[in-house]
Each structure stands twice: as C-alpha cells, then as structure tokens.
Structure 1
C-alpha cells in the first residue's frame, strides 16, 4: 500500500514505463513517508480509440471527487 495505476496510450517503451514507475515510487515515498517495499505501480495501456469509454467517462467524468489533477489544467 499504496498501489498506483497509470493508464496510458500504448507506444511507450519498457524503459520509459520503468523510469516512470521509479519516479512515482520515489515521490510516494517522499510525500507519503512509505518505504519502497510498500509501494507498487502498474501500467495499463488503453488504445486511443477506447480512451473515452474505458478511462475518461468512468474514471474522470464519473468520479470528479477523486481527481486531484484534472486534464487540461496546469498544476
């Protein structure tokens, strides 16, 4: 715990995904104070044509209270 799921379009290399998982793990450890043994990161590739139905509508539109960084906005 925690388990982070990153949903992304296909096409990123295994090296890029591994680097992202490492960066997420470091930030989770730093911000939340967990040890590396407590953090897991998964990648789910979703085709662009399926994004609206499989991600945008169910994960973003239907659950606005769970979104901490909305698409299209700068941090």
Structure 2
C-alpha cells in the first residue's frame, strides 16, 4: 500500500497537482504492480526560501540511504 508524499515549491494549481498525482499513480501501479485502490498521494507545498531547511536537509542530506534518485542541485 504505497503512500507517495510530494514536496514541491508553492505555486502549482490544484489542477496541476491532480495531474502530478495521476502520473505518479500510473507509474507506481505499473512499476510496483499494485492496484489503484492501494495507492494514495499527498502534495505538500513549501516556500522556496524554506526548502533547504525543511526539505533538502532533513529528507535528502540526512537520509541518503533512502534516496533512490539524487537531485542535481543544492539550494542557495
């Protein structure tokens, strides 16, 4: 029962967030071979000025063993 949490910079519309959730759902259904009913997706908005402290450090830098796709940037 995968639950996907997307952390993203503020500014996306609800329509765009639904498109993101739909695309992720299809990808996980295919790759993890789970039915639609088993999946959930949440999207958390973050101010870009807070990204480094609230997302990059705690979720990327501090958890390297959980990271399967590394970013190609470092926040300012």
TM-score > 0.5, shorter chain as reference:
yes
Aligned length: 73
Q: Which residue in the other structure is 1:66 paired with?
A: 66
User: Cα RMSD over matched residues?
Assistant: 1.0
CA distance in 2, matches of 1:64, 1:25: 24
Q: Which residue in the other structure is 1:10 paired with?
A: 10
Which consecutive unaligned segments of at least 5 residues does structure 2 have? none
CA distance in 1, matches of 2:72, 2:42: 23
Q: Which residue in the other structure is 2:28 paired with?
A: 28
Residues 1:48 and 2:61 aligned together? no
Deviations 1:10-33 (A, max 9, x none): 001111110010000001100001
Does the residue aligned with 1:29 lie in a helix, a strand or coil? helix
Which consecutive unaligned segments of at least 5 residues does structure 1 have? none
Instruction: With the length of structure 2 as denominator, give the TM-score of the two structures.
Output: 0.92
What displacement does 1:47 show?
A: 0.5
